[in-house]
Amino acid sequence: MEITYKAIGKIRSPFKGPEGTPIQPTAAGSAAGKIELLPEYQEGLKDLEGFSHLILLYHCHQAGKAALTAKPFMEDKKHGIFSIRAPSRPNSIGLSIVRLEKIENNILHIKDLDILDKTPLLDIKPYVPEFDRRKDVKIGWMETNINKLSSLKDDGRFADK
Amino acid sequence: MEITYKAIGKIRSPFKGPEGTPIQPTAAGSAAGKIELLPEYQEGLKDLEGFSHLILLYHCHQAGKAALTAKPFMEDKKHGIFSIRAPSRPNSIGLSIVRLEKIENNILHIKDLDILDKTPLLDIKPYVPEFDRRKDVKIGWMETNINKLSSLKDDGRFADK
């Protein structure tokens, strides 16, 4: 079964290619950028400015061929693609929670980017702790590696070459 | 720009139609169900069982026509579609964080469902607090309504009719 979506805009970011890009928003050191929403969707932004954080869903347009196992940045061992966050997955949908700074017409100024420049945007949802935050979480193989997060950058391994 | 994905499986749930379905996993009272992953993707599940929570991305196949403003369940006022979580959005991608109970071959047993039966699944990502949890969050118009969450159920307003 095939499902077709349309890009609703694109993300503008200081990161022009995979290499050197932060691997998660929380490791992004406040990197700033913006969303250029297509003007025909601007009405959908009503009341969004009261939210501090947004969930962005986007198409990882530079992701390489999908694999079912891959070595993540945090560990030199192969894991199933659904237990890592690499972009080269069966459906290359990326998910990042970013900070919303302000909205000017169809332009959203955002921070904490780990997203490549010109990435096609699929959806914006308000981040709501009561919906999206969980306690008592187990993180499997990442448990012994998560402390490396802030020191890691993308090395291009998941890029389309 | 059009982007085409393929369903990687489907979600089986006790909720056969929108009416009466919980509006968020955190209001789902532990509703249990399963993911039937297509067997060709089973290798991608390697090492996933160590994670307690999964982020599911899916296609809201019963969503009605997209609107740019809509009345959410929590308040009888119209808000921009990007400031609410309704399924009738420009790209009807749903996001739920569910609990993983166990995996048997290509079947994942999950809890905290707010998803309709037979929903096409697009992606499974491990939920990782270090990536996905934010503090000091502002939730705009929801601030005065969020206490209603646990008492609300879907009334079918976003269904394809």
The band of A38, judged by pLDDT with boundaries at 50, 70 and 90, is very high
Task: Place B58 in a pLDDT band, splitting at 50, 70 and 90.
Answer: very high
pLDDT tens-place string over residues A46-90: 999 999 999 999 999 999 899 999 999 888 899 999 999 999 999
Residue A28 banded pLDDT, cuts 50, 70, 90: low
Owner of token pair 């196992």: A69
Chain B CB contacts of A141 below 8 Å: 47, 50
Average pLDDT rounded to a whole number, residues B120-126:
98
Q: Is B123 helix (H, G, I), strand (E, B) or coil?
A: strand
The answer, for A149 touching chain B at a CB cutoff of 8 Å, is yes
pTM of the full predicted structure?
Answer: 0.94
A68 to A65, A120, B23, B31, B120: CA distances (angstroms)? 10, 24, 32, 29, 19
**What part of A 98-117 touches B (C-beta under 8 Å)?**
none
- Give the pLDDT confidence score for residue B118 in this predicted structure: 97
Backbone phi, psi, residue B68, to 5°: -90, -15
Question: How would residue B80 be classed by pLDDT, with cut points 50, 70 and 90?
Answer: very high
Contacts of A129 in chain B (CB under 8 A): 134, 137, 139
Secondary structure letter of residue A18 according to DSSP: S
- Residues 6 or more apart from B40 whose CB is under 8 A from it? none
Q: With contact defined as beta carbons under 8 Å apart, do B142 and B36 qualify?
A: no
pLDDT band of A128, cuts 50, 70, 90: very high
Structural domains in chain B, sorted by start: 11-129+138-151 (2.40.30.70)
Least CB–CB distance from A68: residue in B44, B49, B69: B44
What confidence score (pLDDT) does residue B28 get? 65
Q: Residue B99 and residue B117: Cα distance in Å, rounded?
A: 17
Mean pLDDT of chain B: 93
Provide the pLDDT confidence category of residue B161 given band limits of 50, 70 and 90.
Answer: low
Nearest to B55 by CA among B10, B101, B91, B100: B100
> For A104, how many CA atoms within 13 A lie in the half-sphere containing its CB?
4
Tell me the C-alpha distance between B26 and B54, whole Å: 14
C-alpha to C-alpha distances, A72 to A52, A69, A83, A146, B53, nearest whole angstrom:
30, 9, 10, 12, 19
Instruction: Give the residue from B57, B60, B54, B56 showing the smallest Cα distance to B18.
Output: B60
Which residues of A are less than 8 Å from B47 in CB distance? 79-80, 83, 140-141
Provide ipTM, 2 decimals: 0.94
Across the range B142-158, mean pLDDT stands at 84
Q: How large is the average pLDDT for residues A146-150? A: 80
Decide if pLDDT at A160 tops 80: no
**Cβ contact (<8 Å) for A130 and B146?**
yes
- CB of B125 less than 8 A from some CB of A: yes
